[in-house]
Chain A
Amino acid sequence: MKALVSVKRVVDYNVRIQVKPDQSGVVTDGVKMSVNPFDEIAMEEAMRLKEKGKITEIIAVTVGGAKCEETLRTALAFGADRAVHVKEEGEIQPLTAAQALAAVFKKEGAQLFLLGKQAIDDDASQTGQMVAALLDLAQATFASKVELDGSKAVVTREVDAGLETLEVDLPAVVTADLRLNEPRYLKLPDIMKAKKKPIEAVSFASLGVTPGAGLKTTKTAPPPKRGKGIVVKTVDELVAALKAKGLV
């Protein structure tokens, strides 16, 4: 059984985000980039399923410019067998990415599509669900546990009410939440080996994808600042301050 794992290149989660002074976006030049952490969890899950013998081949895929090859190399170092690069420069919105990913999934004849529940740059949390919709497949989002059982998957999901368990027929889309697993550290020999693994380049045109009208960002601003508060010295002072504001 083949699994497709999509990985997105994003600003590293430790970087302090700066908004450009002209409000045209956030600063990404010269900033450390990494694999979206939720996609890394998806990649790790695919590896674990392969190590258990449930999956025979892992194909990593990304949608983005030339620099995204680094992201695919990281996925290959994790253990993906090969990679597909949907090479397109410029801003790509979730629906367009989903159309491309759906086309790759179909072309590869994969049974499981694993990806992060959201990317930590645009925080949209849409792509996986959209792929499932476009292909009329089952989806299990925000997964904290995945078990493959023949032609089915049993997935536990983190929802507001608690933990929900769904049974889905394969092929299906599963999006990874934070507690699904803890990704392994990459070892140097694996990073070296990844350099020799094949990456196939495709394009929107070759996949038959035509980007539609998306959202137009007219302004990017820093969040409103909270005023700095006061430091009290004792519990009595704190209780008095809260009472004075009518909060308790």
Chain B
Amino acid sequence: MSKILIIGQQADGKLDSGVAKVVAAARQVGGEIDVVVFAKDGAAAAAQAAALDGVTRVLQVDRTENDHALAAVVAPQAVALARKGYSHVFVAGNTFGKDLMPRVAAKLGVQQVSDVMAVHGPTSFDRPIYAGNAIVTVEAPAAPAVVATIRLASFTAVGGGGAAPVEKISVEAVLPTHTRFVSLAAQKSERPELQSAARVVSGGRALASSENFKKFIEPLADKIGAGIGASRAAVDSGYVPNDMQVGQTGKIIAPELYFAIGISGAIQHLAGIKDARTIVAINKDAEAPIFEVADFGLVGDLFQILPELTSKI
């Protein structure tokens, strides 16, 4: 039977929302599911992990070095734990997981499966290549362990209401001192976080300025409680900061409702919204590729359409 270890990312006592989706992927593999929380004080995050449906037990590893989740520091602990009989080690395919997991895989001597988007069995998975323009089915060697990052946009979070036991444990591992956290400049926002928002409004180059982004995109997003994203063109033009970029090289998202405003729909952008449930495109160019994937398209001048849409929606 499979025994799955999930690295439960946390920050400031809050379990990352991606963990519930990784648990969903693990449930499709089946077997025991342990979530480990590496933190300075992981009690709060561990309690949140314990409530996730399908979790067998939560392991809480408190250590001052775990204050900031540095890959070089977390990896040796994850490796030591993984060697205790786990058949699988999973983590979210976000920047935390992508940074950390190859270090774990290399130390365990296994080839990692990146960006799992479907589970066919304990060792068989689908993953995207070429920015999602092809999907490969891969068979991973079962021994010593299957190490994978999970593509969050492909799985629906498990619910809460569980009550798994939390065990405080210590892990024998020598931690390096060659990597030191200096600072984190976070974008503070009252809006839903882009990666987990049910609704997202994104703007493209056609917005033409950061003032227009504020004037036209923000009111619509606020009216429907949406997160805000942008195309790479809008980010590169300096209209919005780069953590708002949606696309293959930015964030890959799967909201229920996605508005692409003044976005032409470059392959790189489409790769980031493939899993959106409903896509609405507003663009003045009727030939724009975004209309090929949009469920609802409206051709016209966004500067006239958006105020009207915001008032009527």
Chain A residues near B187 (CB-CB < 8 A): 162
Are A165's CB and B183's CB within 8 A? Answer: yes
Chain A residues near B114 (CB-CB < 8 A): 123-126
Chain A residues near B136 (CB-CB < 8 A): 217, 219-221
Interface majority SS (helix, strand, loop, mixed), chain B: mixed
Q: What 6 pairs across the A-B complex have the smallest Cβ distances?
A: A129-B102, A229-B295, A133-B106, A126-B102, A130-B106, A17-B133
Q: Using a CB-CB cutoff of 8 Å, which residues 199-248 of chain A contact chain B?
A: 212-223, 226-236, 238-239, 241-242, 245, 247-248
Are B278's CB and A247's CB within 8 A? Answer: yes
Are A235's CB and B180's CB within 8 A? Answer: no
Which A residues lie at the B interface, using CB under 8 A?
11, 16-17, 19, 26, 93-95, 98, 120-130, 132-134, 136-142, 144, 154, 157-169, 172, 177-179, 212-223, 226-236, 238-239, 241-242, 245, 247-248
CB B120 to nearest CB in A, in angstroms, measures: 9
B68-92 vs A, Cβ < 8 Å mask (1 yes, 0 no): 0011100100000000000000000
Are A169's CB and B178's CB within 8 A? Answer: yes
Instruction: For A136, give the chain B residue with the smallest CB separation.
Output: B176
**CA A165 to CA B248, docked complex, whole Å:** 23
Classify chain B's interface size: 35 or more
CB A119 to nearest CB in B, in angstroms, measures: 10
* Apart from A130-B103, A132-B103, A220-B134: 15 A-B pairs, beta carbons within 8 A: A26-B133, A126-B105, A158-B95, A159-B184, A160-B95, A162-B185, A163-B184, A164-B184, A166-B180, A166-B181, A167-B179, A212-B111, A233-B298, A235-B308, A238-B298
Q: List 23 A-B contacts (CB under 8 A).
A: A17-B130, A93-B111, A94-B111, A123-B130, A127-B102, A129-B71, A129-B103, A133-B75, A133-B102, A133-B107, A134-B106, A141-B71, A161-B184, A161-B186, A161-B243, A166-B70, A218-B124, A221-B134, A229-B294, A235-B298, A238-B280, A242-B278, A248-B224
CB A151 to nearest CB in B, in angstroms, measures: 10
Is B55 engaged at the interface, CB distance under 8 Å to the other chain? no
Instruction: For B183, give the chain A residue with the smallest CB separation.
Output: A165
Is B205 engaged at the interface, CB distance under 8 Å to the other chain? no
Chain A residues near B257 (CB-CB < 8 A): 242, 247-248
